[in-house]
């Protein structure tokens, strides 16, 4: 399909050329390489939240065709902005936004838990197809232990865990939770995740910050402890020696490690990511950082997951302003990256939806945070919460991102996964019609499912774009220019890229 790159891209490309031509000798132009530069790389993601119909579908009353139209529009908006990854919430609360034999259909899809779309379609299969058709990665986002959210309105379906296995479910405030220390509950959640990995061509598995629930208080203002007394006493009776908080953390650690190991056993190239609360354990924070402790309250030891290599990427939710007194963005990001001996990517989650709040942030807060991530060494990237902010253009964010993104970028590679470097493609360039000539890139040899990265040189300027499935028209802004030469490379599932090969010119 056509990839329309607008004026901001052309303006930036012109700026790059001008910067490369500063202070040349009189009458002398700098040399232009006959081989292209490295492909731009940056994780550019957005969460698509289904809980409460935050992002999609916008209402549980939409018809399947209206749901599909909304999904297509969100995917296209992501592609047009220059994003390369969508993180779709497929399991908000022990339910499913896909056809599942393990859990009931989500009420956020049809208005009634357990009710399938009519006429039937599989939303996750549709999202994967649409994302891949436009060259985006699709990561499946799971909430592990929440079993009913406070905004839930539909009666629980007979197949819901609270009805099938009430012994595994705990009531906490106005929500239901699976008990993380119940082995059967952890086994069930893992089975749900692996079922999705086996049946759908998702590019990643993504877990959010809800392990044990965020604490609530009673009428007297006292913290209400999570009601796992029976599970705890059973642990002690079996000779358990850990303190209760350490025991809870051990349950979460064991689950995260199992998810990482088992997902890669089933499909080694699927990335596993976790998005923890943005403040780590108190004794490892940068000086001056204060606030809620997920280590003590959610029993999430996210630093350990990085240290052990149980994630392929970490997206800490850094939902504070750059100069927040006790949660400054830059020091928080540096603090998380310092806990990372295996060098796994740490990409911050950005509170982009705050641009549309009653007391909104200025758009420069988000763009400034993106620029700060680019000043750090290593693998650049970030994720926007959430897609609704980009759909509705809160604060004029889409125009600001167009200037920052300047066209497509590849997802940074995961060299520690076993995918290997893909085979170089054989690609040709031809005109589709003599009457209305359009230059089209076509792969004639190689894996057709892989993303094709293409560099095209116009005079003294190299331009970059990507093509899903290995074929498609050159972007509209490239069509009327005197294309000098082009190179293409295949990009594999782990982001590794083949050596660039010349594109054969079959236009004549």
Q: Which residues of 458-470 are buried (b: 16+ CB within 10 A; e: fewer)?
A: eeebbbbbbbbbb
Residue whose structure tokens are 């599989």: 122
CA distance 347 to 318: 10
Q: Please say whether the beta carbons of 350 and 385 come within 8 A.
A: yes
Which of 365, 363, 362, 326 has its CA nearest to residue 348?
Answer: 365
Task: Give me the pLDDT at residue 505, please.
Answer: 72
Least confident of 94-103, 195-204, 235-244, 418-427: 418-427
Cβ contact 43:411 at 8 Å:
yes
Is 219 a residue whose pLDDT tops 60?
yes
* The pLDDT of residue 5 is above 80: no
State the Cα–Cα distance between residues 35 and 221, nearest whole angstrom.
66
Q: What is the pLDDT of residue 374?
A: 96
Q: What is the pLDDT of residues 280-313, one digit of tens each?
A: 999 999 999 999 999 999 999 999 999 999 999 9
Instruction: Give pLDDT, residue 17.
Output: 36
Rounded to an integer, the average pLDDT of 316-340 is: 96
CB 159 within 8 A of CB 106: no
Distance CA 270, CA 53 (A): 27
Question: CATH code for 7-21+30-38+418-505?
Answer: 2.60.40.10
Kindly state the percentage of the chain with pLDDT values over 90: 77
Answer whether residue 12 shows pLDDT above 90. no
Average pLDDT over residues 205-231: 96
Tell me what the mean pLDDT of segment 7-18 comes to.
36
Measuring CA to CA, which residue among 211, 212, 209 is closest to residue 226? 212
- pLDDT tens-digit map of 248-283: 999 999 999 999 999 999 999 999 999 999 999 999
Instruction: State how far the Cα of 3 lies from the Cα of 9, in Å rounded to an integer.
Output: 12
Question: For 214-218, 291-295, 472-476, 491-495, which range has the lowest pLDDT when averaged over its residues?
Answer: 472-476
User: Which residues pair with residue 171 across a beta bridge?
Assistant: 176
Give which of 325, 323, 322, 317 is closest to 300, Cα–Cα: 317
Residue 446 — pLDDT band, cuts 50, 70, 90? low
Q: Computed from CA positions of residues 430, 136, 339, 305, in that sequence, does the dihedral angle turn out positive or negative?
A: negative
Alpha-carbon gap, residue 352 to 121, rounded angstroms: 31
- Across the range 185-195, mean pLDDT stands at 98
What is the CATH number that goes with domain 43-405?
3.20.20.80
Contacts of 166 (CB under 8 A, 6+ apart): none
Q: What is the pLDDT of residue 16?
A: 35
Tens of pLDDT, residues 27-39: 444 557 888 999 9
Tell me what percent of the chain is helix, strand and coil, each rounded to the nearest 5.
35, 20, 45
Q: What is the pLDDT of residue 433?
A: 64
Q: Which residue has the higher pLDDT, 437 or 420?
A: 420
Q: How far separated are the first and last CA of the chain, in Å rounded?
A: 23
Joined tokens for residue 301: 């030891």
pLDDT above 70: residue 4: no
**Strand bridging mode 271-274 / 204-207:** parallel
Per-residue pLDDT band for 450 (boundaries 50, 70, 90) equals confident
Range(s) for CATH 3.20.20.80 in the chain?
43-405
In whole angstroms, give the CA distance from residue 508 to residue 493: 34
Q: Between 298 and 504, where is the model more confident?
A: 298
291 exposure class (CB count in 10 Å sphere: 0-12, 13-18, 19+):
middle
Is residue 14 scored above 90 in pLDDT? no
Its sign, for the CA torsion 409, 412, 417, 418, is positive
Distance CA 466, CA 407 (A): 9
Q: CA-to-CA distance for 455 and 194, rounded, in angstroms?
A: 37
pLDDT, position 15: 34
Q: How far apart are CA 245 and CA 223, in angstroms?
A: 15
pLDDT at residue 416 tops 90? yes
Tell me: pLDDT of 483 over 90.
no
Phi, psi (degrees; rounded to nearest 5) at 458: -120, 105
Q: What is the pLDDT of residue 426?
A: 86
Cβ neighbors of 19 (< 8 A, separation 6 or more) are none
Confidence label for 438 from pLDDT (cuts 50, 70 and 90)? low
Beta bridge partners of 502: 487
The boundaries of every CATH 2.60.40.10 domain in the chain are: 7-21+30-38+418-505
Task: Pick 481 or 369 by higher pLDDT.
Answer: 369
Residue 147: enclosing H or E segment and its boundaries? strand 146-148
- Cα gap 451→133, rounded to integer Å: 10
Residue 83: exposed, middle, or buried by beta-carbon count in 10 A (0-12, 13-18, 19+)? buried
Which two three-digit tokens encode residue 461?
């300027």
- The DSSP bridge pattern shows strands 349-350 and 381-384 to be parallel
389 vs 352: CA distance, rounded Å: 6
**Cα–Cα dist 209/200, whole Å:** 24
Reported as a single tens digit per residue, the pLDDT across 43-85 is 999 999 999 999 999 999 999 999 999 999 999 999 999 999 9
């Amino acid at each position: 399909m056509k990839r329309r790159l607008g004026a901001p891209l052309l303006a930036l490309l012109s700026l790059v050329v001008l910067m490369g031509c500063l202070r040349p000798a009189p009458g002398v132009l700098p040399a232009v390489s006959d081989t292209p530069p490295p492909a731009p790389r940056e994780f550019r993601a957005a969460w698509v939240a289904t809980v409460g119909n935050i992002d999609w579908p916008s209402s549980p009353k939409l018809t399947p065709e209206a749901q599909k139209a909304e999904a297509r529009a969100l995917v296209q908006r992501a592609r047009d902005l220059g994003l390369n990854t969508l993180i779709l919430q497929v399991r908000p609360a022990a339910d499913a936004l896909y056809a599942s034999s393990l859990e009931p259909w989500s009420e956020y899809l049809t208005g009634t838990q357990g009710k399938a779309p009519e006429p039937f379609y599989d939303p996750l299969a549709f999202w994967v197809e649409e994302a891949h058709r436009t060259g985006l990665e699709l990561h499946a986002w799971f909430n592990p232990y929440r079993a009913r959210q406070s905004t839930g309105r539909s009666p629980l379906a007979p197949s819901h865990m609270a009805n099938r296995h009430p012994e595994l479910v705990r009531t906490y405030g106005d929500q239901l939770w699976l008990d993380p220390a119940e082995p059967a509950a952890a086994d069930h959640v893992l089975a749900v995740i692996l079922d999705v990995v086996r049946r759908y061509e998702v590019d990643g598995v993504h877990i959010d910050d809800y392990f044990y629930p965020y604490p609530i208080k009673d009428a007297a203002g006292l913290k209400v402890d999570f009601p796992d007394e029976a599970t705890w006493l059973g642990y002690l009776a079996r000779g358990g020696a850990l303190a209760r908080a350490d025991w809870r953390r051990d349950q979460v650690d064991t689950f995260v490690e199992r998810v990482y190991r088992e997902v890669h056993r089933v499909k080694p190239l699927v990335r596993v990511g976790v998005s923890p609360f943005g403040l780590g354990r108190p004794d490892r924070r940068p000086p001056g950082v204060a606030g809620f402790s997920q280590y003590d309250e959610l029993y999430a030891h996210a630093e350990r997951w990085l240290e052990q290599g149980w994630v392929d990427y970490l997206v800490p939710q850094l939902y504070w302003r750059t100069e927040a007194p006790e949660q400054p963005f830059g020091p928080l990001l540096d603090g998380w990256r310092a806990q990372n001996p295996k060098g796994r990517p740490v990409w911050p989650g950005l509170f982009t939806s705050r641009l549309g709040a009653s007391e909104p942030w200025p758009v420069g807060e988000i763009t400034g945070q993106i620029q700060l991530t680019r000043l750090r060494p290593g693998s650049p990237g970030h994720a926007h919460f959430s897609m609704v902010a980009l759909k509705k253009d809160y604060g004029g964010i889409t125009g600001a991102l167009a200037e920052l993104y300047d066209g497509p970028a590849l997802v940074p590679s995961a060299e520690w996964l076993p995918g290997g470097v893909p085979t170089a493609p054989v690609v040709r360039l031809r005109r589709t019609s003599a009457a209305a000539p359009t230059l089209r890139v076509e792969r004639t040899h190689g894996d057709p499912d892989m993303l094709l990265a293409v560099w095209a040189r116009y005079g003294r300027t190299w331009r970059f774009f990507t093509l899903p499935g290995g074929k498609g028209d050159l972007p509209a802004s490239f069509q009327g220019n005197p294309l000098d030469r082009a190179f293409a490379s295949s990009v594999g599932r782990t982001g590794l890229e083949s050596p660039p090969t010349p594109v054969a010119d079959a236009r004549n």
